[in-house]
Amino acid sequence: MPLFTGVGVALVTLFREDGALDAPATADLAAQLAGLGVRCVLVAGTTGEAAALTAEERDALVGAVRAALPAEVPVLAGTGAPTGRQAAALTGRAFAAGADAVLALSPPGVPDPRPYYAAVAEAAPGPLLAYHFPGASAPGIPVDLLPDLPVSGLKDSSGDAGRLLHECDVLAGDLYTGAASLVGLCGAIGAAGALVAAANVAPELCVAALGGDADAQVRLAAVDRGASADFPAGYKRAAAARFGTSVVTRVGA
């Protein structure tokens, strides 16, 4: 069984005016999005400003979000790091804090991440998803190595439609796109779903696009273009316009 099918959100992390973590507000936003059709919540991912969070703050986020969501909505924690040792430590903490699964971004500057994922998998008592996002951590994961990774699935945020189709051919596990522009394609090819930042702003459009609504896909892509232009602040401003949440960021501050 997939970790989830449908639309997941790469959740923003909310901060108070002084820059302190606001875990309760972040958890409240997660609960609102679940009520609007989101079927998985990723905390401490790229959109969640993971690099600006302490290990203790990650624990607090996972615990608060898990407590705020229905049991059937899994909490996925970002645990990628520059080394397998670091990622394994974050993975152990995430599960201990209540995560249902973890998502590990491939390490920077590593053309063959198989040893890295082996180390993370050893520390993971539950599902582990690999994360291909060369824009954040180059070079990413070569498609031909995917069958060798000890993972249950993959999130691909490259935005490369051809690669997504190739992955659908070679990956035995769950496939999710992290690109809002490819949500409709994921639905068309029978992929497990999408894990996108745009679901912070327009979860209903994401659900409709995944279900094959072409107009919703066009409108979703437009929403995402606007929100992603100033990352991650643009997503926070867009979410604040709809949900009244904080616009404070740590990245770039």
Q: What is the CATH number of the domain that holds 32?
A: 3.20.20.70
In a domain, 23, yes or no: yes
Question: Which residues neighbour 127 within 8 Å (Cβ) at sequence distance 6 or greater?
Answer: 3, 100, 101, 102, 152, 153
In a domain, 85, yes or no: yes
In a domain, 253, yes or no: no
Q: Which residues are catalytic?
A: 131, 155
In a domain, 150, yes or no: yes
249 is in an annotated binding site: no
- Residues 164 and 186: their CA atoms lie apart, in Å, by 8
Count of domains observed in the chain: 1
pLDDT, residue 251, reads: 86
pLDDT in tens, 115-129: 999 999 999 999 999
In a domain, 250, yes or no: no
In a domain, 77, yes or no: yes
pLDDT, residue 253, reads: 67
In a domain, 204, yes or no: yes
- Its domain, for residue 55, covers 6-243
> Confidence class of residue 252 from pLDDT cuts 50, 70 and 90?
confident
State the pTM of this model.
0.97
In a domain, 1, yes or no: no
